[in-house]
Structure 1
């Protein structure tokens, strides 16, 4: 674990300890900010060490990627209905093409931190952004444009009709082996040595946990995230090339 990762882990651990303490003192549910998948995996380990089980991760809808951690008093049943999360709908003319990055940039330019924002789902003419409840009025009042495009912002009353979650794109790769450094090299287009440096620098996450063992082997169904490159799912092994290279189907999120 790098110095930067140790620092991030210590901050997360302190955040969870504070949330546990507040929930116990107030005898009421308490919540963190939004956590990325890697942070959620680390949080589960921290809670396991604390022998605490009455918690829930929720991001505003089922199968969200970013999620808030809710800590509940031991005598209270946890429920997603308690979470202080508001879905905001951004409407604009379908003739324009606005991306996830456009909405994230517009929100962060207003001084909103990434940890206050959950998933951003987009489709032509509409985006839905999950935010911490206390920020919903501020965002609604502040944002009239995303980039140069006019938008109207309102609280989404019904989350049954969310923009569709984009499916990963399947691609075929050949690589020397299914070792982590070999797979990272194939996905990034970097040499194996440079791919190994990415891994050792803590920029590669396997199943949402940072991995720095370049020689570990991947298997079908593994989720791989590479900072600066994207998120992937290891798919089917389809055999070997004539030169003995491994042929793999890998799904990539765009």
Structure 2
């Protein structure tokens, strides 16, 4: 069995790049810093570390519990300092009395400014404020170029990590009933799509479960799974609560806001 058989076909270009980086660190005995990785990509790096000798993977996203992180690949004898991750914390100043920013509002503004998704990490928003964790090399550009989010004037400002208290994750919770925990059934119920319409983006590779593309509509979801549908956002399966009297399955899901 080939090494690549352990990963999806759409993941193979990333696997090749990751293995190349690990091999370079082994050969040159020098640190390498990645762009931001989602949890699946970090898992791939750590899975591949068995293919090289004496290479460690350290990861940090700016705060404990960060979803997206930058990783440093380094020989075992080298120590990593927090500043080596080259992370900048930006606070977004705006009048949010009429529209509290959501995760996708901030992400859309950064993408529209020409940023690659790999250059920014978590975006954290609540009624008290909005923050973006970004790569140090693009922080000044964002502060100068991004002046509007969702038709609201904004100003990005660097802030010190010491003064940062991350907002708790925000979910808009809802209870649904489905005939089964199948991916197509749950996506259809959450996003008000018929099962036939829910199958189309799944088959097209536009659905991820725990950051991995899943193309099987019959894939059974479990509590804790994070599901994303391109163009619709993400939701988390918070709880599977058991059958109703009619035999359908009650589930509690949280839409990421």
Does TM-score exceed 0.5, indicating one fold?
yes
The aligned residue for residue 118 of structure 1 is 121
The aligned residue for residue 234 of structure 1 is 237
**SS of match in other structure, 1:164:** coil
Per the TM alignment, residue 177 of structure 1 is displaced from its structure 2 partner at its CA by 1.3
For the 8 Å contact 1:57–1:67, the answer to whether it is kept is yes
User: What are the within-5 Å matches in structure 2 for residues 60-209 of structure 1?
Assistant: 60-78=62-80, 80-95=82-97, 97=99, 99=101, 100-124=103-127, 126-146=129-149, 149-209=152-212
The aligned residue for residue 246 of structure 1 is 249
Cα distance between partner residues in 2 of 1:73 and 1:166: 34
The aligned residue for residue 40 of structure 1 is 42
The aligned residue for residue 224 of structure 2 is 221
Cα distance between partner residues in 2 of 1:247 and 1:96: 34
The aligned residue for residue 59 of structure 2 is 57
Per the TM alignment, residue 191 of structure 1 is displaced from its structure 2 partner at its CA by 2.5
The aligned residue for residue 9 of structure 1 is 11
Cα distance between partner residues in 2 of 1:51 and 1:227: 38
Q: 1:249 to 1:81 in 2, by over 3 A?
A: same
Per the TM alignment, residue 97 of structure 1 is displaced from its structure 2 partner at its CA by 3.1
For the 8 Å contact 1:97–1:124, the answer to whether it is kept is no
For the 8 Å contact 1:61–1:159, the answer to whether it is kept is no
Comparing 183-192 with 57-66, which one deviates more in the overlay? Answer: 183-192
Q: Name the count of aligned residue pairs.
A: 250
**SS of match in other structure, 1:232:** strand
For the 8 Å contact 2:179–2:249, the answer to whether it is kept is yes
- Gapped runs of 5+ residues in structure 2? 1-6
Q: 1:176 to 1:153 in 2, by over 3 A?
A: closer
User: What are the within-5 Å matches in structure 2 for residues 9-28 of structure 1?
Assistant: 9-24=11-26, 26-28=28-30
For the 8 Å contact 2:49–2:56, the answer to whether it is kept is no
What whole-Å deviation, never above 9, does each CA across 1:212-246 have from its counterpart, x for those lacking one?
A: 33334333333333333332332333333332211
TM-score (norm 1): 0.80
Q: 1:216 to 1:123 in 2, by over 3 A?
A: closer
**SS of match in other structure, 2:215:** coil
RMSD: 3.0
Per the TM alignment, residue 86 of structure 1 is displaced from its structure 2 partner at its CA by 1.0
